[in-house]
A and B are shown apart, each in its own frame.
Chain A
Amino acid sequence: MQEYLLLLVATAVVNNVVLVKFLGLCPFMGTSNKVDTAIGMGMATTFVLTLSAVLAWAIESFLLVPFELAFLRTLTFILVIAAVVQFTEMAVRRISPVLYQTLGIFLPLITTNCAVLGVALLNVQEGHTFVESMLYGFGSALGFSVILVVFAGLRERLALAEVPAAFAGAPIGFVTAGLLSLAFMGFAGMSAG
């Protein structure tokens, strides 16, 4: 039980997928202009990441390994992720048309979010069990969502400040993200994970 909790914390905070592993930067910069958008994006990505991590593990364990089809891993993982994102898109459109409109192109772009594929592949690399895979996926997504919302809050404040014209918008955003990343590097060495 304790090692599951540790895994969750390590994935969410210590080895944060955005700030430490530098995965998923495209939606990170793209949807962090407003806190509301960021919350929606975080929830969508959490759903996709967790589900695809689990499905990817299942396909790896029951299809690829028994039939020695390891070379098909990337292909099948992408297939799974694309299908899950399609499903998520339909669900979001039904549940909240406003969120669907706000997220725009970034919702289908979760497919190309390297964090999603990265987590699925890392699960295989680390040889996680079913529960560990699920927690790994959920933890990464949790870390992604939290940092996304925090960053959105920072960017909303930055928009009100007197930023020099050359830096306004994305450049100061990246500088801030870099500083956030520096802060999170302080967690390094805190856990064995």
Chain B
Amino acid sequence: MKLFRIRGGVHPEYRKELASEKAIVAMPLPRLLRVPLQQHVGAPAEPVVAIGDTVGKGQLIARAQGAVSAPVHAPTSGAVVDIANLTAPHPSGLPQRTIVIESDGRDAWAELPPPIEDPLSASPREIARRVGECGIVGLGGATFPAAVKLDLRSRHELDILVMNGAECEPYLTCDDRLMRERAPEIIDGVRIMAHALGVDRVIIAIESNKPQALESMTRAAAGVANLSVIGIPTRYPMGSERHLVQALTGRETPARQLTADIGVVVHNVGTAHAVHQAVRYGRPLISRVVTVSGHGVCEPGNVEVPLGTMVSELIAFRGGLTEEAPRLLTGGPMMGQPLPSLDVPVIKGTSGILALTKEETRIQPAQACIRCGSCVSACPVGLVPVDMVALVRKDNLDEAAAAGVMDCISCGSCAYICPAHIPLVQYFNYAKGRLNAIQRDEQKRDRVKRLVEARAARMAKLAEAKRAAMAARKAAAAPPKPDPDSPPAAAQ
């Protein structure tokens, strides 16, 4: 199959050998599970259980709110002991609403929805509804509700489903192991999703640094019509959906639009596995494979973790940390977020937990920009980081926006390649955050203005009504005026 070149990109070391040969092991059930209500893009879920309730494994504990949201399910059977604000696995360290479940050790399934018989002839709506009910979100890390993405056929002309098996981030191997060990299940999930989307073709893209996964998936996909397993060149950020689509089809997604607008939908292979579980067995998303890696962990590996397990317990399961205060990240080293501490839960989007030593991170002090332009060559979106960072540094955010900083995908290629070690992507994350905050403020100002005007109009109307009522009352209460022509009414 003809492949196309993508713009820019970098070649970090893979460092996957730490965990790539470690088969997936199941994490023993912890005593307490802390399940946050927002593990997805969109509105947080609302709890449907109260403190003291008993729940079964896979039981619905929080309902989705609105069109873009996802429900949350109990990872194991037990009792709800608390609904509290606990530290989120987010660099800010801010709290979020979390349901705390104490496991009863039995790990007994609750009543699950029945498997969908013959999903390849079921209606797409039914499949999408089941995927939504089971709380499935994009497991590549974006955590976008998968049901909404499956529904894209109603608004777009779709012809290709691309399964993202690229896993371009260094250290991470969860998708790799999943493809090596559970290929038939993934292929089944892919076929179900393809049917739900109504696409003609499916392409499963796997980076060339995963030959075993390529072989395993090709074997599992043998004989399936219109489904091809393709090896793609290893280059970061090949896993970015726009770049994957461009590499496979040559079509470039316009800025601020979806890949669906050019007829392609991209899903992660982990998501396909979860869809298989949901449709064939009625099991909701209550666990996921997490890569624990980095030289800061004693035993790197890939673990199937129940959602809500604390990162501290996961690391203890893998032998603990090798040194004091390594750099803790959730996700990969390029786009992953620093963790505030180990006392945060594993959530649907946690593809990896990394503990990196000082040698691995090699943070160096920044120097002056020498305008070498390496960042421009590296940017996969085609932006000019050297100009944008000069504008952001001088707080000229409007001009930075005009230069395209809002289209930055925060992949970190520019910061990776910069010979002066300037924290480029960090400046752009700040600029994007600040510009979004300014926009939110403007929207609030408009809202407030409208409300103030509406209230003023309402008050004016009320005052007018009061005046009219008072005038009417006065007219009714006043004695009738004597008519000068007719004789005065005779006193009775």
Contact = CB atoms under 8 A, between A and B. Distances in A.
Interface of B is mostly: helix
A161 interface: yes
A70 interface: no
Interface string A143-171: 00000000000000001111000000000
B221 to A, nearest CB: 52
A146 B396 CA distance: 26
B394 interface: yes
A162 B368 contact: yes
Contacts of B368: 162
Interface in B366-409: 368, 387, 390-391, 393-394, 396
Interface residues of A, number: 4
A159 B387 CA distance: 12
A161 B393 CA distance: 10
A33 to B, nearest CB: 13
Contacts of A161: 390
A-B pairs, 3 with minimum CB distance: A160-B390, A160-B394, A160-B391
A161 B371 CA distance: 11
A162 B390 CA distance: 9
A100 B393 CA distance: 31
Candidate in A159, A160, A162 with the most chain B CB atoms within 10 angstroms: A160
Contacts of A160: 387, 390-391, 393-394, 396
6 contacts: A159-B394, A160-B387, A160-B390, A160-B391, A160-B396, A162-B368
A64 to B, nearest CB: 51
Contacts of A162: 368
Given A160-B390, A160-B391, A160-B393, 6 more contacts: A159-B394, A160-B387, A160-B394, A160-B396, A161-B390, A162-B368
B326 to A, nearest CB: 34
B372 to A, nearest CB: 15
A160 B396 CA distance: 9
B422 to A, nearest CB: 12
Interface string B158-180: 00000000000000000000000
A159 B393 CA distance: 11
Nearest to A160: B390
Interface in B170-221: none
B373 to A, nearest CB: 15
B385 to A, nearest CB: 13
B306 to A, nearest CB: 51
Contacts of B391: 160
Contacts of B390: 160-161
A162 B367 CA distance: 12
A161 B386 CA distance: 11
Nearest to B391: A160
